[in-house]
Structure 1
């Protein structure tokens, strides 16, 4: 009997919500149906998704940055197909692989010159777990410092460095000796490091939740302070890396040299999970310091041939298509064009970001009628206003976006890096229309707002 994924997909193309309600996270299905995101997607190419009716959607989330080169890129598909048909030895125990060595070599060409060793794993959170372990072993210190509102993953070690309480709540006790300092606060950081007992400071160069940018002197001073107090500087570039911010690594904007870089997401090409940590020779040699410690930390599937081939092909696509440069050019244009609207829309505070890591933040207006409407939404659930932008963007303009984080009035864009000028025009025009509609009171968009507020208040009563 033949087995066909295509046949399974065709047979169950409209069953996915029922399947998830029965066997997976039914709250996810409930949420999608409530806000009208319950679409049946049939195909995906580049920056676009297509539903069963053939409607095209511009995906400005790219799987939270996974599809930096776009979905189903033919170069990566070709590399994976070739890898499958070559009958290569894969995950041979008591051996090392060619493709992992080649991928390590290619990645290290892009990193600061103090980093010359790689460790591979399966995801961003695994890369953070590895960085915690390596930092503790190398420094013989226990403490880890991270930033408030930071995000580093959801496994127990990475979760211990998560600055958002909603992710931590109910999962404790977490790792001991982990403490937070405010992002962009050098005085607080120095105070935390000054006892010379901190193994590592783990920080996103640009915070993903809210797209919070550092002051220009922040990361250079972080590097200096870490060296001064013997703390390892770990840059979490799981989201910001591989061209997302218009530089290959976000740290490149500030010319700093961390001791470790955590990476994942875009390195996969959108096909096979792959994460990694780039590090100094000293850290690698400290952890793997004897032959009997050669396997003291690892991950079963981490260096599998498919993941390594996907990584190699992704790097080639980024270079050939000049996606880093395109990220900076088109992303900057989008940010500037959205900021040009602040003068005519009271709700619009600013657009910010670097490259194609973009936040659009909204604020309480000055006009009494608008201010009262804003207050109604905020009383129901902080950050609810953004749904009045993202839902119309999706339903009317077929653009997929999301709120940047819990309790934030910020819409976040993490589009594929291959956006065209046409895509840029669509984004700017659609945001202009969606934001303009929020200033019409009464209006259909505020009927949606009242409906959302009602759902939010019911949810609070249910808890």
Structure 2
């Protein structure tokens, strides 16, 4: 009988949520139904998603930062078609395909001071690689990480995850030490114990969109090196132009020992991650021919992933997406700052480029203040979730709450957005906050629904 993908999908059209409930994580469709996010998306194009009814949704989530070049980019699609037609001798496991060497060369050209690349399949795998290489090359076991950090959910990367809700129930984990973000004294105290292999840090944290103080990375690097430890910069979400520099650490005068990347390198099509490091660190692991496979993965450097990565880098360069992220991000933050002057519900606007956090705080209005207290008592973070839902249901804008128990929403749209999307978002948020400031209406009715769900949980 032959295989016809289109026919197979046509047979289950509209059944995605039922199938997921039955065979995958049942809590995902349950959550999406509760908050009204249970749409049937049928395609994506540029900075927009389209549902089965033809409605367009502005995508300020970008697949958690995957779609730097937007969805369905023609250059990336063509590269993948070309790669399929090339019939690569993929994964022979005993050859050296030039396509992976070419992508490694292009990546290293963007990271002065680093010399070698290990390709893998995801951000968490890149972090796992970084932790292994750091521990082996230094001979030390402990890894320092920052409060609220997110570096992945596999066991090693979970050991440097600063969110207790992800760690709970999965111990014991690797030896670690958590410090407040940007706290040099705390870092120094841990280093004096003499057993630290590295500090891993997101130059802009995904959870809460928080950044260390200016100059911290450089001072931390010097301190780490003084004690024989390494600096690992996790650029899985902040890399490839998102912050207005190719890598977020490049906002400072610092050269990390290891950099991890993924997400946007995929072009939105084929998962790929990479760990970039120095000859010295790489050579300590791959020190002889009998150690050639001491760190590896079956699906490393697949030709489709490499083609997607090469095309994604070309699009970022050719279309000036790094510069656009800096320019459009500045415009968006300026618009949000103006809203903060108008609405006391906005406590802070922060971030770099098109990685922006909007933090909410207690309003001054009597009704709004009572509603705020009601939500806070049930669960911190419900107000931000209420804003996210209102933006989605009223204005078809997809965003996310930036972390558990945080009144912060995060904006990480494709790097291709322009003035139209900036205006759309600021106008829409204005409408939502005007309603929220009144302390009554449909938005607060939905807040009560969230409270009931939180209480049941």
TM-score by length of 2: 0.98
| SS of the residue 1:201 aligns to | strand
Whether the aligned pair in 2 keeps the contact of 1:61 and 1:402 (CA below 8 Å) is yes
Q: Are 1:105 and 2:144 matched, yes or no?
A: no
The 8 Å contact of residues 198 and 231 in structure 2, kept in 1 or not, is answered as: yes
Match of 2:383 among 378, 382, 385: 385
Aligned match of 1:155: 154
Question: What residue in structure 1 maps to residue 8 of structure 2?
Answer: 8
Which position in structure 2 is the counterpart of 1:21? 21
Residue aligned with 1:342, SS: helix
CA deviation after TM superposition for structure 1 residue 73, in Å: 1.0
CA contact (8 A) 2:181 2:211 kept: no
Aligned partner of 2:304 in structure 1 is: 306
Deviation string 1:314-366 (CA, Å, 9 cap, x unpaired) is 00000111000001111111111111111221211121110110111100123
| Deviations 1:185-225 (CA, angstroms, capped at 9, x unpaired) | 11101111123321111111111100001211211111111
Q: Which of 379, 396, 399 matches 2:397?
A: 399
Deviations 1:408-452 (A, max 9, x none): 000111110000211111111111111111012322211111222
Q: Does 1:183 align with 2:181?
A: yes
- The superposition leaves residues 9-68 of structure 1 with CA deviations (integer Å, 9 ceiling, x where unpaired) of 222220001101110111111100000001011111111100011000001111100111
**Equivalent position of 2:254 in the other structure:** 256
Residue of structure 1 in register with 2:72 after alignment: 72
Range 71-80 or range 1-10, more displaced: 1-10
State the SS of the aligned residue for 1:202. Answer: strand
Give the deviation of 1:372 after TM superposition: 1.7
Whether the 8 Å contact between 1:261 and 1:278 is mirrored in structure 2 is: yes
Q: Could you tell me how far apart the structure 1 residues matched to 2:324 and 2:160 are?
A: 33
Please identify runs of 4+ aligned residues in structure 1 that moved more than 6 A. none
Deviations 1:262-298 (A, max 9, x none): 0101000011111001101100111101111111101
* TM-aligned CA deviation for residue 390 of structure 1: 0.8
Q: What aligned pairs does 1:7-406 form with structure 2 within 5 A after superposition?
A: 7-111=7-111, 113-175=112-174, 177-406=175-404
SS at match of 1:340: helix
Q: Output the aligned Cα RMSD.
A: 1.0
Contact persistence 2:61–2:398 (CA under 8 A): yes
| Structure 2 Cα separation of the partners of residues 10 and 333 of structure 1 | 43
1:239-268 deviation line (CA, Å, top 9, x unaligned) = 111111110000110121000000101000
Work out the CA distance in 2 between the residues paired with 1:297 and 1:344.
54
Equivalent residues of 1:388, 1:438 under 8 A apart: no
CA distance in 1, matches of 2:416, 2:424: 14
SS in 1 for 2:260: strand
Residue 387 of structure 1 deviates from its aligned partner by: 1.9
State how far apart, in whole Å, the 1-side matches of 2:290 and 2:323 are: 45
Deviations 1:138-170 (A, max 9, x none): 011111111111000000000011110000111
- Tell me if the contact between 1:13 and 1:40 (Cα under 8 Å) persists in the aligned partners: no
User: What is the distance in 2 between the residues matched to 1:52 and 1:386?
Assistant: 28
Which whole-Å CA distance do the structure 1 matches of 2:144 and 2:249 have between them? 19
1:431 aligned partner: 429
Count how many residue pairs are aligned between Structure 1 and Structure 2. Answer: 457
Partners of 1:86 and 1:441 lie apart in 2 by 60
Whether 1:416 aligns to 2:414 is yes
Provide the C-alpha distance between the structure 2 equivalents of 1:120 and 1:344, rounded to a whole number of angstroms. Answer: 47
Runs of at least 5 residues in structure 2 that lack an aligned partner in the other structure: none
